[in-house]
Amino acid sequence: MIKACIFDLDGVIVDTAKYHFQAWRRLANELGFDFSEADNEQLKGVSRMESLEIILKWGGVALSEEQKIEWADRKNEWYKALISNMTPDEILPGVPEFLAQLQSNGIRIALGSASKNALPVIESIGLGPVFEVVIDGTQTTLSKPDPQVFRLGAQRLGLKPYECIVFEDAESGIEAALNGRFYAVGIGRPEVLGKAHLVIPGFVGLQWEEVVKAMGV
Ligand code: B16
Ligand code: MG
């Protein structure tokens, strides 16, 4: 019996991936190299410092630990400037309607994001009050595919993993959910998210009853 849904933020509720990409690309460019939007896929759901390591490897750039922290901070300032202008219009299509269905069915709603900026993002898009529990990158020590972020969410809700469905757009996020024995719905392409119990292209027209039926929960 499902009692709660735990949502990833970036790529599920809102498309902040484009802002992460712009800020990381600026960092790469200032360090003298470039990377593509396709490369950026590999950074989805990956923590800030791990993303930096991957990008530096792409550019063949070696930095001291101190320099890494400085560049990561710089990237975060650029990212924060980009997200400061976000509005509720940027909530991904179908998300508000799906959240409303959960509320009317008595299903509890939580957020499980790797981002340390999750709170300002949900506030600026007006969804702050919708999430009963928020677990973000400030509360975790282990990155997806470790299930820590979702386990903390379930714990805070007072529920077992098998009572929760995780909605994720990143392969590492689906793995995290499965590693924690949660039900998992992938938002995106089946080629990438095929391990999930159910994969959907997005929330437009999605009915809660259909999800329950399709997953046999
Ligand atoms: P920050 P999610 C993740 O959020 C993003 O997908 C990933 O691209 C980003 O590097 C990570 O948050 C950390 O974000 O630098 O804001 O702490 O998809 O888990 O909601
Ligand atoms: Mg994501």
Band (45; pLDDT cuts 50, 70, 90): confident
Closest ligand to C-alpha of residue 9 is 1
Per the annotation, the verdict on 8 as an active-site residue is yes
Domains observed in the chain: 4-15+90-215 (3.40.50.1000), 17-83 (1.10.150.240)
Residue 90 has pLDDT above 90, yes or no: yes
The DSSP secondary structure of 120-167, one letter per residue, reads: HHHHHTT-GGG-SEEE-TTS-SS-TTSTHHHHHHHHHHT--GGGEEEE
**pLDDT tens, position by position, 8-44:** 999 999 999 999 999 999 999 999 999 999 999 889 8
pLDDT confidence of residue 44:
87
CA–centroid distance, 213 to ligand 1, in Å, is: 31
* Average per-residue pLDDT for the chain: 96
Atom of ligand 1 nearest to the CA of 117: 16
Band (197; pLDDT cuts 50, 70, 90): very high
Residue 117 has pLDDT above 90, yes or no: yes
**pLDDT tens, position by position, 54-78:** 999 999 999 999 999 999 999 999 9
